[in-house]
Amino acid sequence: MGQGDGCTVREVLDRVGGKWSIGILVAACQGPVRFSELERRVEGISRRMLTLTLRNLERDGLLRRTVHPTVPPRVEYAATPIALELYESLVALTDWAERHHRTIADARAAYDRSRKAAP
């Protein structure tokens, strides 16, 4: 990594840091998915946010949108090669979270307790 920057990491976060981006990306990385399928698989997402996030991911070249001109319409979103690569890189982060989320939860609890005692 550079010296004191963190800028390139920020570039990833600008792409993937949104509330829903990763959920969608993870789903699409298992294979092409339809709009309504995503609506079901990405728990809690609204139609609006699904559309917006899909557009951004498409814009950044992480998803490819394919419209099958049938009736009713059928639209599929597929992960691009670079999205699949990104998915691989996310594993390192996931592992970190899995290794330490207990520790982090404890740290939080301790911090909050010490602040409740002497504010």
The reply on whether position 45 binds a second copy by CB under 8 A is no
Q: How many residues bind DNA (CB under 7 A)?
A: 21
> CA 23, CA 41: separation in Å to the nearest integer?
9
Q: Considering only CA atoms, which of 19, 43, 44, 42 is closest in space to residue 30?
A: 42
**DSSP state at residue 70:** -
C-alpha to C-alpha distances, 110 to 29, 97, 98, 100, 119, nearest whole angstrom:
38, 19, 20, 15, 14
Least distance between DNA and beta carbon 98 (Å): 23
Residue of the chain from 2, 4, 31, 72 that contacts DNA (CB under 7 A): 72
Choices 44-52, 78-86, 95-103, 107-115; region in contact with DNA by CB under 7 A:
44-52
The reply on whether position 91 binds a second copy by CB under 8 A is yes
The reply on whether position 66 binds a second copy by CB under 8 A is no
- Nearer to a second copy by Cβ, of 43 and 72: the residue is 43
The reply on whether position 44 binds DNA by CB under 7 A is yes
> CA 48, CA 27: separation in Å to the nearest integer?
18
Q: Judging by DSSP bridges, how do beta strands 33-34 and 63-68 pair with one another?
A: unpaired
Residue numbers at the binding site for DNA (CB under 7 A):
18-20, 34-37, 44-49, 51, 54-55, 65, 72-75
